[in-house]
Amino acid sequence: MEIRRQPKGERWTMRTKQNLVIDLLFGRERFNKSSAEYQDQIEQMRLRPFKVIVEDVNDRLNDIWGSGRRLPFAKSCDFKAGDRAIFYREFPRKISKETIRSALIEYGYR
């Protein structure tokens, strides 16, 4: 099996970026909550303006990339059954409004 880097210009799968957005907004705290806690979390997100959410996500990405420390998740691999090569993609330095909006819709926060 061939191992090579992700060619420039190829796009990530939307699902990977969506999960990254949700992780940046909520951390690992989004799992294993009671129903009431999930409802509170959703209400808090609905009260925040979308522009602020976009700024928060991209500010956190800038903090991660600007910290200078080695990141355990600096690259992502979207390998799936049937693939003939493994591609490693760097995490983005900025995420678009559309991707953030689709992540929030996908996970029920908007």
Which conformational region is residue 85 in: left (phi greater than 0), alpha (psi within -120 to 50 degrees), or beta? beta
What are the C-alpha distances in Å from 45 to residues 7, 54, 74, 99?
A: 36, 12, 27, 16
pLDDT exceeds cutoff 80 at 77: no
Among 5-19, 23-37, 42-56, 65-79, the range scoring the smallest mean pLDDT is 5-19
Average pLDDT of the segment spanning 56-75: 78
Among 9-18, 54-63, 80-89, the range scoring the smallest mean pLDDT is 9-18
pLDDT exceeds cutoff 90 at 52: yes
Task: Please state the pTM of the whole predicted model.
Answer: 0.69
What are the C-alpha distances in Å from 33 to residues 38, 39, 40, 55, 83?
A: 6, 10, 11, 26, 36
Query: Is the alpha carbon torsion for 93, 68, 23, 20 positive or negative?
Result: positive
